[in-house]
Amino acid sequence: MESLSNKKKVLEVKPLNFWERAYLPAIAKGLSITMGHFFKKPVTIQYPEQKREFSENYRGLHSLKRDENGKERCTACGLCALSCPAEAITMTAAERQKGEEHLYREEKYAAVYEINMLRCIFCGLCEEACPKEAIYLDGDIVQSDYLRKDFIYGKDKLVEAPLNQ
Amino acid sequence: MELAEIGIKFALVAIIFGISLVVAMYSTYAERKIAAFFQDRVGPNRAGPFGILQPLADGAKMFLKEEIIPTNATPFLFIVGPSLAILTACIASAVIPWGQNVVIAGKTIPLQVTDINVGILYIFGVVSLGVYGVMIGGWASNNKYSLLGAIRAASQNISYEISMGLSIIALLLVTGTLSLGEIAQQQHGWHWNVIYQPVGFILFLICAFAETNRTPFDLPECETELVGGYHTEYSSMKLGFYLFAEYINMFISSAVMVTLYWGSYNYPGMDFMNELLGTTWGPLFGFAVMFFKVLLFIFFFMWVRWTIPRFRYDQLMDLGWKVLIPLAIANIVVTAVVITFLK
C-alpha cells in the first residue's frame, strides 16, 4: 500500500551472522562501553554539602525588603495577599507610632505578616503586585519541617536582616 | 607434634573462614560502589570515610530486623534453607590451595587446608549441594514466587553443571590429576591452564556465572519477575545468609577459576621472587598474587552484572543445552586428539 507520509521505512530483517550469534563479541563490546563509564566523573551533586547554582530568575523563599536607611518598605496595603492565587499571605496592619520612624518607612506597616509555605506556589505574583518593592522571592529552598504550623513563616523569618548588623 | 599440626590446621581454617567472610562482607560494599561508578554515580558514602563502614551498618540492620516465619511455611525447612546455603558456601574453600608451603620458624606449613586427591569432585559435590539451600528455602516458604524461583534455580544449576563438568574433563585431560594442589603446582610460572584450555575456561566461566546465580543468569531471584525469587518470604539474618552465601559463592568460584585456569598462586618470575623474599615471604607474596587475581575475578563478576541484561528462561535453557554442552564435548574431543598426537 502507498504510504501517506512517505516516512515509512522498511527494515530488512537479516539473519544474524555467526559472530552476532556467538554473543561473546557483543558482550565484549558492551563491557567496554560500561568500562568507559567506570572512569567518568560522577554527575552527582552531593546536596547538603554541595548546592547547585540557582538560575537568575529562580523564585525561592520570600524576603521582605528594607530601604536604603534600613526601614521596612512594606506598608501593609494587602495587594500581595489579594494577588496571591493560593491565598497563602495574611497580614495585620498597624499605624506607626511616634519614635518608630527609623523602623518603618510609611505611616502604616504590617504588624503581622505571615506566608504559609505549604500553600505558596512560588508564582511570584506578590512580587509583581507590590507597589513598594517590598517583597521578593530571592531566597533559598524552603526547609523541610515536621509540623504544619512550622511552615507558616512570620516576620521573624521573612524580613531582611537590619542594615547595621 | 600431632597436636601442633592440628592447631595449625585449625588456625588456617579460621583464617580462611574469616577471609571469605570479610571478602563477602566487603563484596556487598564493592558491588554497590562499582555499580555506582558504572552508572556515573557516587555510591554509598555516608557511613565512615567513603562509606567504608556501610557493610557493618547493613549487618547490624539485618540482625535487628524482625524475624518473620510465615504462617503457612514449614518452620523447620524454612530455617534449614539459609543455613544449608551458607554452610555449603563456606566449606567449599577447604580444598583450594592458597599458596606454596610457607616455612615459619623451621616448620613447613601448607597453605591448603586439605589436599584430597579428588579436590575438583569435592568442589563439584559441595556446589551442587548449594542448590538445596535455595530449593528447600523456596519450597518451605509456601509462596508461588519463591517456588518458581526455587524451581528455576534447580533446573538452571542442573543444566549448567553438566557443561561445567564437561569443560573440566577437558582440563583433566591436560593436567592428568584431580587434586587442586597438584594442578596449582603444574602451572608453575606462566604455564597457566588458560593458555591450553581457552574454550574450556570460557565455558567454565559462563557456567560459574550460572551456578552462582549472578546476572545474566539471576533468574532464581529476579526482582522484576518474581519479587525476590526464592528469598521473597525471608527477613532478618536469614535473608542476610542467603545474600551472604551468594557473595561467598562468588568468592569461592573466583578462587576455583583462578586455581584451575589462571595459574593459582603462580606468576611469571616467581622463582626469582621466591629467592629474593625467602621461604616465608615468597609463598606469602604468591598468596597475595592469587588473592589479587581472585579480586579481579570478583570485579569481573560485578562488571558483567552491570552490563548484561538477564536471559529469558527459554534462552537460558537453549544456551545451556544446545550451545554449551555440544561445545564442551567438542572441546573434549579436540583436546583428546591433540594430546594423543602430541605426546
Residues of chain B with pLDDT under 50: none
Q: Considering only the beta carbons, identify the residue of A31, A43, A46 that sits closest to B307.
A: A31
pLDDT digits (tens, 9 = 90+) for A18-27: 887 778 888 8
Confidence category of residue A164, pLDDT binned at 50, 70, 90: low
| Alpha-carbon separation of residue A4 from A8, A11, A12, A23, A30 (angstroms) | 9, 18, 21, 39, 39
Task: List Cβ neighbours of B315 (8 Å cut-off, separation of 6 or more).
Answer: none
Chain B residues within an 8 Å CB radius of A43: 40-41
Give the 3-state DSSP-derived string for chain B, with helices as H, strands as E and coil as C. CHHHHHHHHHHHHHHHHHHHHHHHHHHHHHHHHHHHHHCCCCCCCCCCHHHCCHHHHHHHHHHHCCCCCCCCCCHHHHHHHHHHHHHHHHHHHHHCCCCCCEEECCEEECCCCCCCCCHHHHHHHHHHHHHHHHHHHHHHCCCHHHHHHHHHHHHHHHHHHHHHHHHHHHHHHHHCCCCHHHHHHHCCCCCCHHHHCHHHHHHHHHHHHHHCCCCCCCHHHCHHHHCCHHHCCCCHHHHHHHHHHHHHHHHHHHHHHHHHCCCCCCCCCHHHHHHHHHHHHHHHHHHHHHHHHHHHHHHHHHHHHCCCCCCCHHHHHHHHHHHHHHHHHHHHHHHHHHHHHHC
Give the per-residue pLDDT at B299.
92
Proportion of chain A above pLDDT 70, given as a percent: 98
Residue A165 pLDDT > 60, yes or no? no
**CB of B265 closer than 8 Å to CB of B99:** yes
Confidence category of residue A53, pLDDT binned at 50, 70, 90: confident
Give the domain ranges of chain B.
2-342
- Chain B: nearest CA to A22, how far in angstroms? 10
Proportion of chain B above pLDDT 90, given as a percent: 6
Task: List Cβ neighbours of B111 (8 Å cut-off, separation of 6 or more).
Answer: B12, B97, B98, B99, B100, B101, B102, B265, B283, B287
Give the per-residue pLDDT at B1.
55
- Chain A: nearest CA to B38, how far in angstroms? 5
- Hey, what's the cell of B308? 548484561
Chain B residues within an 8 Å CB radius of A44: 40-42
Give the per-residue pLDDT at B17.
87
Q: What residue of B is the nearest CA neighbor of A31? A: B307
Give the per-residue pLDDT at A54.
85
Is ipTM beyond 0.95?
Answer: no
**Does the distance separating the beta carbons of A34 and B38 come in below 8 Å?**
yes
**CB of B183 closer than 8 Å to CB of B260:** yes
Q: Touching check for A50 and chain B: CB below 8 Å?
A: no
pLDDT digits (tens, 9 = 90+) for A125-153: 999 999 988 899 988 888 888 999 999 99
Proportion of chain B above pLDDT 70, given as a percent: 100
**Does the distance separating the beta carbons of A24 and B36 come in below 8 Å?**
no
For chain B, positions 144-203, list CB contacts with chain A under 8 A: 202
**Does the distance separating the beta carbons of A37 and B308 come in below 8 Å?**
no
> Structural domains in chain A?
63-158 (3.30.70.3270)
| Alpha-carbon separation of residue B115 from B17, B180, B204, B255, B298 (angstroms) | 17, 7, 22, 15, 24
Give the per-residue pLDDT at B270.
78
**Does the distance separating the beta carbons of B42 and A42 come in below 8 Å?**
yes
Give the per-residue pLDDT at A85.
92
- Hey, what's the cell of A113? 505578616
Give the per-residue pLDDT at A55.
87
Please give the annotated binding residues of A for [4Fe-4S] cluster, written as ranges.
74, 77, 80, 84, 120, 123, 126, 130
Give the per-residue pLDDT at A1.
66
Which among B155, B161, B130 is positioned nearest to B311, based on CA atoms? B155
Query: C-alpha dihedral over A14, A19, A22, A25, to 10 degrees?
Result: -120
Q: Touching check for A38 and chain B: CB below 8 Å?
A: yes
**Does the distance separating the beta carbons of A43 and B40 come in below 8 Å?**
yes
CA angle A52, A55, A61 (to 5 degrees): 85
**CB of B282 closer than 8 Å to CB of B100:** yes
